[in-house]
Amino acid sequence: MTEVAETKQDKIARRQVDKFEGRRTELAVATLHTLAELGYARTSLREIAQNSEFSHGVLHYYFADKRDLITHAVRQYEAVCVTRYDEAVASATTAAELKSEFAGTFFGTLKADAALHRLWYDLRNQSLFEESFREDVLEIDEHREAMIWRVISRYAELSGGEPATSPATAYLVLDGVFQRALLHSLSGMDESVARLEKEFDRVLDLLVTI
């Protein structure tokens, strides 16, 4: 009888935890665009509350501080982002098709999700100064690296070749291109972004040995 009671208590406790985490995720997603617009330095729970439909008290109840909210929000966004190229990887039947789909999505998201990408890079830069961010940033970076490697591996396979670099190097190269393109896009330097997009084919080919 005691074991049954304990099992029920465990289930109730789990439901309460799940409900709490679910609410944290809901709030993080709802405030994500506000976070992205304000950036790390200008963000406080009170500032976020003033720019959203949620009260400061509600945010403070579910999140210890802005670091807690920002990392949770970025994790939710990245959980979706790290699969953005998977459809192209799965459906492409030729190297040219995959290259085209990958490049289109790669540069298309610059404008579609510019503020959110900016938030990620802001968080990654902050991790150089704040140790509390580093574990989360490193884990997200690993997922992003794996996302890029799925593309490179499949592109090499369709090309009849092999990857010419390690997963880490491939990620660093393409992430560097993306960050520069993002900065230029935010700065209204559309011609520069267009040049990067035009050269993207050659960059991708450098990562594969045929």
Provide the Cα torsion 76, 77, 82, 88; round to 10°: 130
The residue-averaged pLDDT of 69-73 equals: 87
Closest CA to 158 of 105, 107, 103, 205: 205
pLDDT at residue 78 is higher than 80: yes
Helix pair angle (167-186, 114-126), 10° resolution: 120
Name the residue with higher pLDDT: 117 or 31: 117
Is CATH 1.10.10.60 the right assignment for the domain spanning 2-73? Answer: yes
What does the alpha-carbon distance between residue 180 and residue 38 come to, in Å, rounded to a whole number?
A: 21
pLDDT at residue 207 is higher than 90: yes
The residue-averaged pLDDT of 49-62 equals: 87
Residue 152 exposed, middle or buried by CB count within 10 Å (0-12, 13-18, 19+): buried
Every domain range in the chain assigned CATH 1.10.10.60:
2-73
Distances, alpha carbon 6 to alpha carbons 9, 13, 14, in Å: 5, 10, 12
The tokens describing 169, both together, are 């190097």
pTM score, whole prediction: 0.83
What does the alpha-carbon distance between residue 97 and residue 197 come to, in Å, rounded to a whole number?
A: 16
Q: Which fold has domain 75-209?
A: Tetracycline Repressor; domain 2 (1.10.357)
pLDDT at residue 12 is higher than 80: no
Helix then strand then coil, % of the chain, to nearest 5:
80, 0, 20
The residue-averaged pLDDT of 82-87 equals: 91
pLDDT of residue 111: 87
pLDDT at residue 5 is higher than 70: no
Lowest mean pLDDT among 9-18, 22-31, 183-192: 9-18
Helix pair angle (190-206, 167-186), 10° resolution: 170
pLDDT of residue 52: 79
pLDDT of residue 28: 85
Average pLDDT, whole number, for the chain?
89
Name the residue with higher pLDDT: 71 or 197: 197
Name the residue with higher pLDDT: 148 or 43: 148
What percentage of residues in the chain have a pLDDT greater than 70? 92
Every domain range in the chain assigned CATH 1.10.357:
75-209
Kindly report, residue by residue over 163-179, the tens digit of the pLDDT. Answer: 999 999 999 999 999 99
